[in-house]
Amino acid sequence: MDALQFIPILVFGFAASLGLTPVSRRIAMRLGVVDKPNQRKIHNDHKPLMGGLAIYGALALSLLLFSPPQHLREFGFILAGAAALALVGLLDDRYNLGIRIRLVAMTVAALGLIAAGISIQLFGTPWIDIPVTIFWVLALTNATNFMDNMDGLTAGISAIAAAYFVVIAYSQELTLVTSLAAALMGSAVGFLVFNFNPASVFMGDMGALVLGFILSVLGIKLKFGVQPLNVTWMIPLLVLAVPLFDITLVVITRLLEGRSPAQAGKDHTSHRLMSIGFSQRQTLFILYGAATIFGAIGSIVGAAPPDIALKVGIAGLAFLAGLFILMMWIRLRYQKPTQQPTPPPSPQS
């Protein structure tokens, strides 16, 4: 793939997002789509929530204007699914639709990908690959939404992951993945200019759902001609390690504490790091660093000989397991898990 084919997508995506974000901020304030502070939020004032409009608009425009013509059909299905999620996210930001409606929308978007021929082909049978594809889309889309709990976190992590997808896909001459990742990276970085701490605008579900959905597509479409499947399945997991780690940590924690996984709380990776004394910006850079390290490990797995790649990949996943144990210990040591209210004692007879 000629570099000139994806560089304009990246540059235009960045410029369009940079220009559209102030517009989306004004629209959000006028429509009253704002994030109000409460006890589980870090910010202390009202923040406009429609940054996702700028992210999706920049992403779609850059792909439609500059993408290779042979991929327009697939991009059409991808952008349609992202548009549906953006709309549902906007309604959720405004009216708090709830997780069930979001899950239905994500499932429909995943089925749209499958109808377009975009699905995981790991087991060689549709009866397994299709449910795994749906689960993957739901996991990544929810993961980015869960992770959107700090200024600049989801946009920055998404941009880092997209950058690695650009590099890996370009090395494999995967024009669709390279173009899509470049568009995502440009739109995320353009938005990050306004979303970095202290943020003047939030992406809301409208943006987080779109970013997660596109990242899930990148993971599905990443193919390798030489590396065996027992190696390549680890690459998207490593590149997307931070959001996948966070949602796994949060869901398991809430289940162990007897709470619903959908119940919001200050139990994310970012909250745990802040509980041991790191500031918001320090926490942000730690998580950016983690995304960079695991993305680099994923890139090594994609480029190294299979025997070395397998060892590196397993070591990376083992490192994640160690970090998981550390985060669980921090929860017990430095945070007080949410307790269920104790009912008043019954009167004695």
Does residue 349 form part of some domain?
A: no
pLDDT category of residue 228 using cuts at 50, 70 and 90: confident
Is the model more confident about 54 or about 95?
Answer: 54
Identify the band that residue 168 occupies on the pLDDT scale cut at 50, 70 and 90: very high
pLDDT at position 44, please? 53
Query: Taking phi first (over 0 means left), then psi (-120 to 50 degrees means alpha), and beta for anything else, what does residue 179 get?
Result: alpha
pLDDT tens by residue, 69-92 = 888 889 999 999 999 999 999 999
Question: What pLDDT does residue 349 have?
Answer: 29
Residue 29 located in a structural domain: yes
Size (the chain), residues: 349
User: How many Å separate Cα 154 from the centre of its chain?
Assistant: 6
pLDDT tens, 266-293? 999 999 999 999 999 999 999 999 999 9
343 falls within a domain: no
pLDDT tier for residue 156 given thresholds of 50, 70 and 90: very high
CB 188 within 8 A of CB 155: yes
Range with the lowest mean pLDDT among 59-63, 64-68, 139-143? 64-68
Q: What are phi and psi of 101, to 5 degrees?
A: -65, -40
User: Which residues are bridge partners to 261 per DSSP?
Assistant: none
- Per-residue pLDDT at 96: 87
What confidence score (pLDDT) does residue 21 get?
Answer: 96
Task: Indicate the number of domains in the chain.
Answer: 1
Asked if the structure places residue 340 within a domain, the reply is no
Evaluate whether residue 339 is within a structural domain. no
Beta-bridge partners for 48: 34
Q: Is residue 225 part of a domain?
A: yes
- What's this model's pTM, rounded to 2 decimal places? 0.91
- Domain membership of residue 108 (yes or no) is yes
Residue 345 maps to a domain:
no
Q: Which structural domain, as residue segments, surrounds residue 176?
A: 3-334
Round the average pLDDT of the chain to a whole number and report it: 90
